[in-house]
């Protein structure tokens, strides 16, 4: 446990004292230059061996090689696993209430980087050989590079992003509202545990999160609309007659007669397990930490320019079925970092694939960290923006070839956005042309009529109006219509009609 007398936060508040729990593996060498810092995910802990065991061990076959590296994983501020958080008791005095709702918000990823930097300095470490992380840990790794570019050698960022989008912020808000709706939340000032805590709200938030951690195909393959009664004693939560619920969730008598699907049992079981190990206030705090993430926030350079300014070799790993942090987000980071390399995990299991497909991930990370004779190292030689863009597009091709709904939907949105911008420009030019015609007509003469005819011929050539000889012929369809016409079927059913300025799905 590392203790700071105080830590000044971006929000203007001060944590005093501030504790950072951490776990280490391997030994620090004499030069103190073999440190690999690992960032964990949202609700995980600093015990890397617990969730990334196939990547951690002694020998070259492990990405986190403890025979060569000093591996350190600090616990996030706000987490209930040791670092200062809402469950921390001020002064550590028994009988005193925890910080609870008095815990500052938001505690940002940059605050965590500042605290971890001081932790490393206390150990005599000035520079990390690499910073590695998955999900929230990937965002921490990127912030480390942005805050201290000269203190980081290489980056491995798995299933993360450069900034939390509205999609992720919206999901986190839905989780928070589930917790707030629990009558035992009491504005975060509850002091009890067990039945006195807002367990129903926290379990519901976890159930919602679990769906975003997987993908539709993965869930369908596992459960296939099976009923819990069919699962028998081998079901996710118990025997055939038991209808388990997460704490506080009561099934009415009428609900008892409804079909009880295995996926329902699974989600409720996950909710019940989660409330036994986590705290609702910590979950809310960490969700705000995620929402604050944007490497361009408050910096002189814009978002893309910040990424372009980073000199680090960076392995950016995305998952083609990830609905929480879609592959486009990792492609965006890899494309704009000068030495960014995109690697795609092809898996049906969604975001959690970085905790499932660990053996393949370990090999990819080993190749990158060795930087010798690997296909990934060859990609590092791409030094022009066009070459890097081509590399990213090549990596995305397998996903696009499968007709990924997320990829096609994103393409439709992009085309609609471009169309809206083009229409705005065309409207401005139309108004300008109308003004010029009026001025020309005011001067008189046959030149005005000839000018109008010429303009009409130009618009016909670009498909903006129908030729005069066939008044019923429609104008050319917009790009999005042509794209959708080539698809084998609709995306999520029939797409709603949208105005030129209203890109986005209903």
For residue range 269-326, list pLDDT tens digits in order: 999 999 999 999 999 999 999 999 999 999 998 999 999 999 999 999 999 999 999 9
Q: Which of 63-67, 205-209, 228-232, 283-287 has the lowest mean pLDDT?
A: 228-232
- Residue 20's pLDDT is 97
Q: Which of 474, 348, 473, 337 is nearest to 399 (CA)?
A: 348
**Position 473 confidence tier, pLDDT thresholds 50, 70, 90:** very low
- Residue 431's pLDDT is 83
What is the C-alpha separation between 496 and 506, in angstroms, rounded?
7
- CB-side neighbour CA atoms (13 Å) of 207: 21
Domains defined along the chain, listed by start? 2-165+292-387 (3.40.50.1820), 169-229+257-287 (1.10.1740.110)
For residue range 197-212, list pLDDT tens digits in order: 999 999 999 999 999 9
- Per the structure block, which two tokens stand in for 173? 């808000």
For residues 324-349, average pLDDT: 95
Specify whether 322 is catalytic: yes
Peptide bond into 345 cis (omega under 30): no
Residue 495 has pLDDT above 50, yes or no: no
3 state DSSP class of 3: strand
**Position 428 confidence tier, pLDDT thresholds 50, 70, 90:** confident
Residue 55 has pLDDT above 80, yes or no: yes
- Residue 194's pLDDT is 79
Q: What is the DSSP string of 134-201?
A: ETHHHHHHHHHHHH-GGGEEEEEEES--SB--HHHHHHHHHHHHHHHTSTT-GGGT----GGGS-HHH
- Residue 127's pLDDT is 96
Specify whether 148 is catalytic: no
Out of 44, 135, 218, 391, the active site residue is: 135
- Residue 448's pLDDT is 55
For residues 458-477, average pLDDT: 45
Q: Which of 358, 347, 353, 355 is nearest to 404 (CA)?
A: 347
- Residue 132's pLDDT is 97
For residue range 397-416, list pLDDT tens digits in order: 554 444 444 455 555 655 66
Task: State the average pLDDT for the chain.
Answer: 81
- Residue 96's pLDDT is 81
- Residue 426's pLDDT is 79
What is the C-alpha separation between 186 and 376, in angstroms, rounded?
51
Out of 182, 343, 351, 353, the active site residue is: 351
What's the alpha-carbon Rg for the chain, to the nearest Å? 28
Percent of the chain with pLDDT over 90: 61
Higher pLDDT, 243 or 172: 172
For residues 228-244, average pLDDT: 50
- Residue 237's pLDDT is 42
Residue 383 has pLDDT above 50, yes or no: no
For residues 88-98, average pLDDT: 78
pTM: 0.73
Q: Which of 136, 135, 144 is nearest to 113 (CA)?
A: 144
Out of 320, 322, 352, 367, the active site residue is: 322
For residues 222-248, average pLDDT: 60
Specify whether 218 is catalytic: no
Residue 249 has pLDDT above 80, yes or no: no
- Residue 394's pLDDT is 55
Q: At what angle do helices 405-443 and 447-461 cross, to 10 degrees?
A: 170
Q: Which of 100-104, 113-117, 154-158 has the lowest mean pLDDT?
A: 100-104
Residue 432 has pLDDT above 70, yes or no: yes
């Amino acid at each position: 446990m590392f203790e700071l007398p105080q830590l000044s936060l971006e929000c203007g508040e001060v944590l005093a004292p501030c504790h950072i729990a951490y776990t280490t593996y391997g030994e620090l060498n004499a030069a103190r230059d073999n440190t690999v810092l690992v960032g964990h995910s949202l609700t995980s802990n600093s015990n890397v061996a617990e969730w990334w065991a196939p990547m951690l061990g002694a020998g070259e076959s492990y990405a986190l090689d403890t025979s060569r590296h000093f591996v350190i994983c600090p616990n996030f501020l706000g987490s209930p696993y040791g670092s200062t958080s809402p469950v921390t008791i001020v002064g550590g005095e028994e009988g005193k209430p925890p910080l609870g709702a008095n815990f500052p918000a938001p505690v940002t990823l940059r605050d965590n980087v500042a605290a971890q930097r001081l932790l490393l300095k206390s150990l005599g470490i000035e520079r990390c050989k690499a910073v590695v992380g998955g999900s929230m840990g990937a965002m921490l790794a990127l912030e480390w590079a942005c805050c201290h570019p000269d203190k980081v050698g290489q980056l491995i960022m798995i299933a993360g992003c450069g900034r939390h989008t509205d999609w992720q912020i919206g999901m986190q808000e839905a989780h928070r509202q589930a917790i707030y709706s629990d009558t035992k939340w009491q504005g975060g000032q509850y002091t009890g545990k067990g039945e006195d805590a807002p367990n129903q709200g926290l379990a519901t938030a976890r159930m919602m999160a679990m769906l975003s951690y997987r993908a539709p195909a993965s869930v369908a393959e596992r459960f296939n609309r099976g009923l819990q009664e069919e699962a028998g004693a081998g079901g996710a939560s118990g025997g055939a007659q038991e209808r388990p619920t997460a704490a506080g969730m009561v099934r009415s008598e009428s609900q008892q007669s409804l079909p009880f699907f295995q996926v329902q049992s699974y989600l409720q079981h996950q909710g019940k397990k989660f409330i036994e190990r986590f705290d609702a206030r910590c979950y809310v705090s960490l969700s705000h930490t995620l929402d604050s993430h944007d490497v361009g926030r408050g910096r002189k350079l814009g978002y893309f320019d910040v990424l372009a300014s980073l000199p680090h070799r960076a392995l950016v790993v995305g998952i083609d079925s990830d609905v929480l942090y879609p592959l486009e987000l990792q492609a965006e980071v890899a494309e704009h970092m000068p030495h960014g390399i995109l690697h795609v995990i092809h898996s049906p299991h969604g975001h959690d694939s970085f905790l499932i497909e660990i053996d393949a991930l370990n090999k990819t990370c080993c190749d990158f960290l060795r930087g010798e004779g690997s296909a990934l190292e060859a990609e590092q030689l791409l030094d022009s923006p066009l070459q890097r863009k081509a590399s990213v597009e090549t990596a995305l091709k397998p996903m696009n070839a499968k007709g990924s709904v997320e990829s096609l939907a994103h393409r439709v949105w992009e085309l609609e956005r471009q169309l809206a911008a083009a229409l705005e420009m065309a409207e401005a030019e139309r108004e300008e042309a109308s003004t010029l015609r009026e001025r020309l007509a005011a001067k008189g003469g046959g030149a005005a009529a000839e000018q109008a005819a010429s303009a009409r011929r130009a618009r016909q050539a670009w498909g903006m109006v129908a030729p005069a000889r066939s008044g019923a012929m429609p104008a050319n369809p917009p790009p999005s219509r042509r794209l959708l016409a080539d698809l084998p079927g609709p995306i999520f059913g029939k797409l709603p009609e949208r105005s030129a300025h209203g890109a986005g799905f209903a």
